[in-house]
């Protein structure tokens, strides 16, 4: 069952009065790796469960090409899924777990054996086939879950935060593994995560969600370089986010002032009003020396905190008025040292304050999933 595209058309899901997901319109092309990214309560898992058939929609439609599938129960959609807690059947061996989807889809006995072996080999678990999930480590269980999903050769693989229960090192390993499998098998994949690094490294396209609404859809490069709202910016690692007032503006160039600092930047979202939010990535703040004044903005700072990060230092430094800047540098700065930094104009992104308040980790309960 192959298809050209999966289409979400104004998909919405409410739990009582709460909109867990609203007005999601998105087209996923075959072979694409799409990541839903957002904090908890943003609606990303809701969107995935709607696609899987584990949640019914309250509005809109989901279609495979021209065939509507949103009324179908999950077992008739033919997808595969990797769950956050893996949901491996505890009473079945690894082999039986991987076979399960094939048996349900009435694949012939002769073919099942080979496909299970292939899937287990892909995730390097061929020697654990007779073990039970309870005898495996978290990373191994995770790989069984992936093998179970790819063994059915599904038209669409859904992954719900599959790496969130693993420790940091294993997470990186499995991330590479998932990307490798995707490239090898060209499986259309929809992936849910709250980790922007994970989303960026895996996805061809990202959908950033907040409070059930789409903030931005684009390639990782687009979203990283040009976040469309200050929320997306803060989520994508623009650590320097502060309110400011517009001093002047001309041709999309905006001069803002905040705590006595004047910066030239660009309007990132419409025409700025008086009150704005300014977003700058730490890696765009560069330490400069002496009279080496580059194009753009120059700010004088005093070093307050230095964190060693291996390849570089993460430095927190404040202006004389107390405005904090985070920056990255390969120079071992000392606390109390006075430095000058340069920030390119096009990397100072100015957002209107009214529509893009800084998120404060708000959590909107998505409610219990229905069974």
Partner 1 sequence: MALDATARGPLRPPLSRRLAERGVDWTLLLLLPALVFAVGLFVYPMLYGLRLSLDPVEGSAFANYRRFFSDSFFRDTIWFTVRLAVPALLINVLLALPLAYRMRYAARGRRLVTIILIFPLTLGSVLLGKGLLNFLSGTGWLNRALISLGIVDVPVQFTHNYWGVLIAVVLADFPFVFLLLLSYASGIDPAYERAAAVFGASAWQRFRLITLPLLAPGLAITASLAFVLGFGVFPSAILLGQPDGATRTMGVAAYSEAFQQFDFPMATTIALLMAAIELIVIVLVLALRARLAPTVTSGIKG
The residue ranges that bind partner 1 (CB under 8 A) are 52-54, 73-75, 77-81, 83, 85-91, 100-101, 104-105, 132-138, 141, 148, 152, 158, 165, 167, 368-369, 371
What angle do helix axes 138-151 and 168-185 make, rounded to 10 degrees? 10
Phi and psi at 94, nearest 5°, equal -55, -45
Q: Residue 57 CB, nearest distance to partner 1 (Å)?
A: 17
Between 251 and 368, name the residue whose CB sits nearer to partner 1.
368
Considering beta carbons, is residue 171 or 281 the nearer one to partner 1?
A: 171
Half-sphere exposure of 293 (CA within 13 A, CB side): 6
- Nearest distance, CB of residue 91 and partner 1, angstroms: 5
CB of 132 to partner 1, least distance (A): 5
- Closest distance of CB 236 from partner 1, Å: 29
Rounded least distance, CB 44 to partner 1, Å: 17
Spatial separation of the C-alpha atoms in residues 283 and 71, rounded to whole Å: 47
- 61 or 85, CB closer to partner 1? 85
Q: Output 102 or 276, the one with its CB closest to partner 1.
A: 102
Of 43 and 101, which has the nearer Cβ to partner 1? 101
In the complex, the smallest distance separating the C-beta of residue 43 from partner 1, rounded to whole angstroms, is 18
Nearer to partner 1, 90 or 310 (CB): 90
CB of 137 to partner 1, least distance (A): 5
Q: Which is nearer to partner 1, 166 or 280 (CB)?
A: 166
Q: Kindly report the backbone phi and psi dihedral angles of residue 109, in degrees, each rounded to the nearest multiple of 5, phi listed first.
A: -50, -40
Q: How far is the CB of 50 from partner 1 (least distance, A)?
A: 13
Q: Please give the structure tokens belonging to residue 101.
A: 């989807």
Q: Between residues 49 and 216, which has the closer beta carbon with respect to partner 1?
A: 49
């Amino acid at each position: 069952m192959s298809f050209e595209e999966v289409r979400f058309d104004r998909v919405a899901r409410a739990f009582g009065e709460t909109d867990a997901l609203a007005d999601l319109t998105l087209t996923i092309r075959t072979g694409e790796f799409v990541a839903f990214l957002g904090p908890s309560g943003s609606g990303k898992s809701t969107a995935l469960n709607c696609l899987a058939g584990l949640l019914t929609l309250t509005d809109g439609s989901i279609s495979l090409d021209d065939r509507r599938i949103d009324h179908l129960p999950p077992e008739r959609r033919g997808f595969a899924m990797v769950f956050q807690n893996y949901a491996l059947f505890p009473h079945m061996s690894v082999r039986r777990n991987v076979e399960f989807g094939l048996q349900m889809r009435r694949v012939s006995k002769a073919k099942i054996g080979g496909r299970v072996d292939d899937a287990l080999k892909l995730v390097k678990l061929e020697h654990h086939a007779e073990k039970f999930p309870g005898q495996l480590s978290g990373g191994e269980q995770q790989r069984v879950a992936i093998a179970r999903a790819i063994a059915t050769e599904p038209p669409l693989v859904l992954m719900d935060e599959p790496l969130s229960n693993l420790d940091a090192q294993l997470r990186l390993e499995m991330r590479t593994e998932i990307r490798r499998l995707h490239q090898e098998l060209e499986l259309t994949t929809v992936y849910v995560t709250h980790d922007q690094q994970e989303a960026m490294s895996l996805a061809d396209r990202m959908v950033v969600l907040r409070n059930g609404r789409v903030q931005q859809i684009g390639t990782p490069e687009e979203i990283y370089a040009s976040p469309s709202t200050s929320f997306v910016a803060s989520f994508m690692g623009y650590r320097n986010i502060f309110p400011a007032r517009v001093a002047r503006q001309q041709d999309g160039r905006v001069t803002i002032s905040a705590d006595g600092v004047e910066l030239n930047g660009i309007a990132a979202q419409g025409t700025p009003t008086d009150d704005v939010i300014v977003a700058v990535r730490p890696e765009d703040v560069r330490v400069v020396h002496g009279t080496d004044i580059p194009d753009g903005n120059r700010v004088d700072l005093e070093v307050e905190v230095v964190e060693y990060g291996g390849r570089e230092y993460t430095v927190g430094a404040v202006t004389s008025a107390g405005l904090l800047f985070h920056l990255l540098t390969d120079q071992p700065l000392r606390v109390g040292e006075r430095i000058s930094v340069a920030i390119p104009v096009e990397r100072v992104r100015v957002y209107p304050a009214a529509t893009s308040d800084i998120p404060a980790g708000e959590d909107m309960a998505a409610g219990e999933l229905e069974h």
